[in-house]
């Protein structure tokens, strides 16, 4: 009798997205958004630019969705631009 076991390695998909954010005027604003995003499970990195009005987020899409990232940004008092 032969028993064959196959092992499958599953890798989480790391994605990067850029989300436009309205209302950020200074570094303190971008720092607040970055802190909230980085505290979110699945977020690996968040680079926020108040000058450009954007958040560039690297995340594990097995742990967090882009919709959740948008919710987190909106919860900081700033608004995701649609």
In a domain, 53, yes or no: yes
Burial of 22 (0-12, 13-18, 19+ CB in 10 A): exposed
pLDDT in tens, 43-56: 999 999 999 999 99
Domain count, the chain: 1
In a domain, 23, yes or no: yes
pTM, 2 dp: 0.83
pLDDT at 3 over 60: no
pLDDT at 60 over 70: yes
CATH of residue 47:
3.30.70.100
Say what percent of the chain tops pLDDT 90.
83
pLDDT in tens, 23-41: 999 999 999 999 999 999 9
**53: containing domain:** 17-80
How many angstroms separate the Cα of 58 from the Cα of each of 6, 30, 43, 51?
A: 31, 16, 6, 20
What distance in Å separates the CA atoms of residue 23 and residue 6, rounded to the nearest whole number? 52
């Amino acid at each position: 009798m032969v028993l064959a076991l196959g092992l499958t390695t599953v890798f989480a998909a790391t994605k990067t997205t850029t989300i436009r954010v309205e209302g950020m005027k200074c570094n303190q604003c971008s720092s607040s958004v970055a802190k909230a995003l980085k505290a979110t499970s699945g977020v690996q990195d968040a680079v926020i630019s108040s000058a450009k009005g954007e958040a560039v987020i690297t995340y594990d899409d097995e742990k967090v969705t882009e919709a959740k990232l948008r919710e987190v940004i909106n919860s900081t008092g700033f608004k995701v631009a649609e």
